[in-house]
Structure 1
Amino acid sequence: MQLRPGPGPTGLPHTRARARHWLIVAAALAVVTGAAALVRPPGATATPDAPVAGPDPAAVSYPVDCGPLGVVVADRAETDFDADGRAETVAVVHCDAGSGTPPHGVYLVTHPAEGEGAPRVAETLVDPGEGMTVDGLDVRDGAVSARLRGYSAPDVPRCCPDLRRDVSWAWRDGRLELSVAPAPGSI
Structure 2
Amino acid sequence: MQPSAGPALPHTRTRSVHWISTAALLGAIIGGGALVQPADASPHASQAAVQAAPDPARATYPFDCAGAPVEVAGRATGDLDQDGRPETVAVVHCRAEAGTPPTGVYVLAAGASPGSPPRVVATLVDPAEERSITGFGLQGGTIRATVLGYSSDTTPRCCPDQKRAYTWRWRAGRYYATPGALANSV
TM-score of the aligned structures, taking structure 1 as reference length: 0.73
Conservation of the 8 A alpha-carbon contact between 1:81 and 1:88:
yes
Conservation of the 8 A alpha-carbon contact between 1:101 and 1:158:
yes
Structure 2 counterpart of 1:155: 154
Conservation of the 8 A alpha-carbon contact between 2:136 and 2:145:
yes
Corresponding letter in the other structure for 2:127: P
Unaligned runs of 5+ in 2: 1-20
Count of residues paired in the alignment:
170
- Provide the rounded CA distance (Å) in 1 between the counterparts of 2:64 and 2:48: 39
- Provide the rounded CA distance (Å) in 2 between the counterparts of 1:106 and 1:155: 25
Structure 2 counterpart of 1:99: 98
127-136 or 87-96, which moves further after superposition? Answer: 87-96
- Report 1:29-178 matches (<5 A): 37-39=34-36, 44-47=43-46, 50=49, 52-178=51-177
Conservation of the 8 A alpha-carbon contact between 1:51 and 1:87:
no
Shift, 1:134, TM fit: 0.6
User: Secondary structure in 2 aligned to 1:94?
Assistant: strand
The structure-2 alpha-carbon separation of the partners of 1:39 and 1:136, relative to structure 1 and needing over 3 Å to count, comes to same
**Between Structure 1 and Structure 2, which shows a larger proportion of helix residues?**
2
- Higher CA-based Rg: 1
Shift, 1:32, TM fit: 7.6
- Provide the rounded CA distance (Å) in 1 between the counterparts of 2:87 and 2:33: 30
**Cα distance per residue 1:120-142 (max 9 Å; x no partner):** 11111111000111111111122
**Cα distance per residue 1:11-55 (max 9 Å; x no partner):** xxxxxxxxxxxxx9xx99986875565355697433287474421
User: Secondary structure in 1 aligned to 2:45?
Assistant: coil
Unaligned runs of 5+ in 1: 1-23
